[in-house]
Each structure stands twice: as structure tokens, then as C-alpha cells.
Chain A
Amino acid sequence: MGDGFWMRRATDAIAAAAEALFPPNDRGAPDWLSADMVRRTRRWLSELPPESRRLVTLLFVATELAAPLLMPALGRFSRTSPRRRLRAMQRWCDSRFAPLRFFGTALESTMKMMYLSHPDSMRYVGVYKTTAHPDDPLQVEVRPDALSARTPAGSP
């Protein structure tokens, strides 16, 4: 994917939103850097069909450039503090004005979807599976006996 003006602005927004949403922590959860948010989100964008790619890119560009319109007193999204960015996203998600809320929740779900697609995030959540996917780039722990080892409710 080329790095023209719009893609650079979209990338700014991805990084800025990820930094605010997934900060460094002492809980053992991966933060936005260790979850490789920017690179993976851009890779996902590049794999989307063109129409959807444009739509999601527009979401990020609007986050970066239209943030002052969406929340007065907020400057360009990536140039404000992570705390203010988080507060802005929270306001958008909770807005009573439905279009703004859809904008906020689209941003939220995109970022959370990408965050939870990293193996370290899956490990932090505790996800494991009963079957192996040897060719899957997203490897999760496999416990083949996890279902058979337990006694189903209602069994004798």
C-alpha cells in the first residue's frame, strides 16, 4: 500500500487511537506497541476489497482530521494527549447523536478487533482451542482433551 497523504493521515490516527486505547500496563496485557497495532491494521486494510478499504481509511482519516469538528477544543487527533484522545473516543461512543456514536463504535470495534487478533492478546485473554491449525499465522494454545476431559452436564 502506498503512503500518500491520506494513508499517512490514516496511519497517524491508527497509531494515536491504539496508543490511547491500549496503553502500557502492569497487568501483563500487551500494549499497542507489542501488539504491533499499526503494522497489522495497515496489513488488514491492504487485504480488504477496494471499496471497504476506502471506507475504513476514511474512518481513520476523519478521526485524524475531523476530530476538532467532532469534539470542539480537540486539535488534530494525533497531536493531542492520549488522555484527551481516549476521552474523545469515549464521548463519541456514548453520544446520543447516533451518527457520531456509530463513528465512535466503528473506531472502537476496529481497534479492538485488531488488538485481539494478536497472539499475545489471545494468550492474555486465555484463549485456547481443541484443535490445531498448523498453517494459521495466528497460533493459539491447543488443548485437544479440553472437551473430552470434562463431563457434560446431563451425562450419566
Chain B
Amino acid sequence: MIERFDSVRQGYALEADAVVVGSGAAGAVAAANLAEAGLRTVVVEAGPPVDPSDMSRDGPRFMARYYWEGGLRMLTGSAPIPTMQGRCLGGSTVVNSAIMLPLPRWVREEWAAEEGLPWLLEPALDRAFERVFARCKVAPTPMTVMGRRNELALEALAAAGIPAGPLPRAVEGCEGAADCITGCAGGRKQSVDRSYLPHALRDGARVMTCSEVDGILTEGARATGVTGWVVDPVTRERTARFSVRAPKVILAAGVMASPVLLLRSGIRGGGRVGATLYAHIGAGAMGVMEEVVDPWIGATQGVGAISAEIRGMKYESLWAATNLIAARWGALGARFYDQLQDLRHATVVVVVYRGAVHGRVRARRNGLPAMKLTIPQSEIDTTMRGLRPAVEGLLAVGARYVTTSIHGLPKTIRSPAEVDALVSGRVRARDIPMTANHVFGSCRMSADPRRGPVDPEGRVRGVDGLWVVDTSVFPSGSAVNPQATCMAVSDLLTRRIGGLTT
């Protein structure tokens, strides 16, 4: 049963065998597995459910309601970088592009060797990916819903010598509405509120929405449940306390919230909780073509490629709500009106890069996270090196001009000769309009207690009955979109917790 605000506003006190904090990619998988294992399972989710009738193409208003911090959450450090996470039933899977790629073999080998995690190389993880892909109906994006924008991205990457193809996504019967970021009102995206939570509910799980956990209950060195506030999804007012007592506490609240919750509960993991943070960085290029593209139709992110030249770099096509993607577009004043007419001709290619960045997460007094990320200059240079072929490719397939919105570079690039500015070495992190939605590693999993607060089984060291199963446990960046890996890791760990076969 999914409990909405009206039924929880007075608060509640529940007992269960397992409580899962968070209903996103990791939490929904955990809930389905634990319920399947016969455990009385309660899921607590800070945000509300998002019904199709709640979804809106008004990007700012949708984000205000269903993203953490209204979509204005920032990483600080080398530059202020927006980082967006869904705050709703289903978490970020409701508001992302549903790209599902398996963890590259080289990353598995790296993590296994560096952190002493041999299970990353075992067939059980492959089976976990297979289960996740099957339940989420993962399939390559059909060419019929690409639209001209994705086709041009494909052609541009091919012209740059980067063989791209349709991206595999958790979508069934895509209508090409390009609304992924503001919710798939047609219900085609297989976000976990559609793909996993129904299984958990069928097996008896209870899902408590609008319930923001602020503490882990402990007795001695044992976790015994969680407590927090019921929060009105509209006014954001706290209405009552709640608690869920359970001998198994599974944290799946995400890279920001999981460490904050541990820290606020006095669980510091020897100083390692929140002491690490990783992210994919990137940059984008918008090509303005001669032909009409109408970028607002077609799969949000239909095509992509893994770079053969730069390890850990990936190319993707992109669109979002027009009112979000064009927020930094064009000039100021009356000239903006003319430039808006160019949007009909636009196509976007972005690079996403697993650079050697590092950071940390701390808990602010108001319970929100403070995240700092340091990006070495060498990684910015590499990002620019990766962006170059994307720009060249767009010019090669007929772009009248390309914009990168990078401060200090020409506003428009109109010829291959002008592309050199990208790799001049003068671009700094603070010059790039960057978004970092792939974040990892704030509760790193490691066999070495000095390197991570979470052991290879997902257990928080020093506290019995407490696990972390979200992307917080990743030893570093996944080099590909992290949702599939997040779900597979959660699947494997929670099947072990529940005693299911792996």
C-alpha cells in the first residue's frame, strides 16, 4: 500500500522486519527483494508520489515540487555546479533519461582490485544486471522515435569518427515526447515506481511517502529503526513525527542524503562517512543547423557513444524542457527574441567524463548536504579535448554555428579553425556551464576500513543491522550512467540480506 500525505499527516509508529530509506533506484529494488524474501518491509520516502496529472512541461515549477532543493542544489568547490536529484516516489528514476548501461568491465576490475571487492568480477553481478534489465524492459531506443535532433547527433558523432548508436533505456513504447526530465506523463518510462515498487507492494511492502528521515535509531551498536518528520509536499511544513522500528535498516537515500543521515545520527565510520565524493563532469555543444530540427520532439537522450580515445568519456544527445535547456541560451535584451528563432534548428551533444575529481559531503545544520568537489585542471583540459570532436562533428554535418556557452571562448564557433580555442588550455572549471547529476562514493565500500565506512557486503562498520546500498557505496565514478549499476548492486546486496539466490 502506498500511503500519501493525507494518511500520514498525523504521524505514525510502525514495526517491521526491514525499513528501506528512499524509494529510488536502489531503494525500490531493495524493497522488492526484501518483501519477496518474506520480510515485513516498510519504505520511507521524503517526497510525494508523482501522478501523470502532476507532470508538467513547466520545468521550473515541476522541479520546485519534485526535485531536491527545488532543482537548485549545487556542488561547490572548483565551481558552482548544479546537481539534480528527484525528491518523489521513485526518486531520480522518475526524472532522468532512463539510460541503462552495464558497468564497464575495466571499472569492475579497478574497483575490485583497489577496494578488495572480488564479487564485482563474479557472474552473480552479471545475473543481477540481467534481472534489472529484464524488469525495466531495457531496449535500444527505436529509430522511429529519434526525431531529427538525435539523428543529427548520430551523424555528427559519426563525422567526428565516433561510432554512436541508439542508447539502451528503460522505456517501453516511447512516444518521443522528450519530457523525461519533467516526468513521462504517458507512463512509458519504466521508472522504479512502475517497474519495482509494484512487486514490493504485491509482496506486502508498505510505502510511506512525505516522510523525511532525520535519524537512525540505535541501541548500543545496533540499528533498530529510523525516525523523522512527515512533511507537507506543498507547504513543506513538518506536521508530525514518525518512526519505523526494524532490526534491518537499509539506507538507499542517495549520495547526498545517506551520508548526511549517518552523520546526523552520530555514525561517522571513523571519519570516512562523507569524506569522499566523486562525480562525472562534462560540457555541451549546441549546433544550430540550416534545416529545421524541432528538437523538442524525439527521445530525450536517444543516442550515445563511448569514446575510444579518452577512457571514461561518453557522448550523448540531449534535450530537456525547453524552458530549462534554453535558460542560458542567447543574448540579453531584444536580440534574444531573434536568437530564440534559432532554437528550432538546434541539436545538442554533451560529453560526460569520469575525471579524477574528488570531494566530500557534510551535513548542514538544517539537515541538507553541503557538497564540495575539486576538479583538477588536467581533467578540464581532457573534457575540452573530448568536446572538440563533438563541435567539429556538428560543423561537419552542416551546423551554421555551434555554441558551448563557455566563458572566455567565442560565443559562436563557425569554422573548424575556431575549434582550437577549446583546447587552448585557458578554460577553467568555473568557465563551463556544467551539470553533475552522476554523483558517487560518499560512503565508499571497501575491504579496508581505513578507506571506506561500508564493508564489501554493504554493512556500515560498527553498527549491526545497518546497510547502505545506493551509489554512495561506489568506490568512484562508474564511467557510464549509474542507474543500472546502482540497481544491480542493490539487487545483489539485498538479495543476500534477504537470503534469496543470487
Contact = CB atoms under 8 A, between A and B. Distances in A.
Interface in A97-156: 98, 101-102, 105, 108-110, 112-114, 116-117, 121-122, 124-131, 133, 135-138, 140, 143, 146-148, 150, 152-155
B57 A138 contact: yes
Interface string B351-381: 0000000000000001010000000000000
Interface string A42-67: 01100111111101100000000000
Contacts of B80: 102
A133 B185 contact: yes
B134 interface: no
A43 to B, nearest CB: 8
B309 interface: no
B417 interface: no
B286 to A, nearest CB: 14
A68 interface: no
B297 A147 contact: yes
A29 interface: yes
Given A29-B337, A130-B177, A147-B176, A48 B70 contact: yes
A155 B55 CA distance: 33
A137 B296 contact: no
B328 A112 contact: yes
B55 A125 contact: no
Interface in A1-38: 20-23, 25, 27, 29
Interface string B132-150: 0000000000011111100
A21 B296 contact: no
Contacts of A150: 148
A116 B55 CA distance: 17
Interface stretch (B59-67, B255-263, B448-456): B59-67
B296 A129 contact: yes
Contacts, number: 158
Nearest to B433: A105
Contacts of B185: 131, 133, 136
A74 to B, nearest CB: 15
Contacts of B298: 147
B53 interface: yes
A122 B328 CA distance: 16
Contacts of B366: 51
A80 interface: no
Interface stretch (B221-229, B319-327, B471-479): B319-327
B56 interface: yes
A21 B64 CA distance: 23
Nearest to A142: B177
A10 B502 CA distance: 57
A130 B294 CA distance: 11
B294 A129 contact: no
A130 B176 contact: yes
The residue in A21, A136, A137 that gathers the most chain B C-beta atoms within 10 A of its C-beta is A136
B331 to A, nearest CB: 8
The 7 nearest A-B residue pairs measured at CB: A116-B323, A109-B327, A135-B53, A48-B70, A52-B70, A138-B58, A29-B337
Interface of B: 52-61, 64-65, 69-70, 72, 79-80, 143-148, 151, 154-155, 175-179, 185-186, 236, 294, 296-298, 322-324, 326-330, 332-334, 336-338, 340-341, 343-344, 366, 368, 407, 430, 433
17 contacts: A20-B332, A21-B332, A23-B333, A27-B338, A29-B337, A47-B61, A52-B70, A94-B407, A98-B79, A112-B327, A114-B60, A114-B323, A125-B322, A126-B343, A136-B56, A143-B297, A146-B297
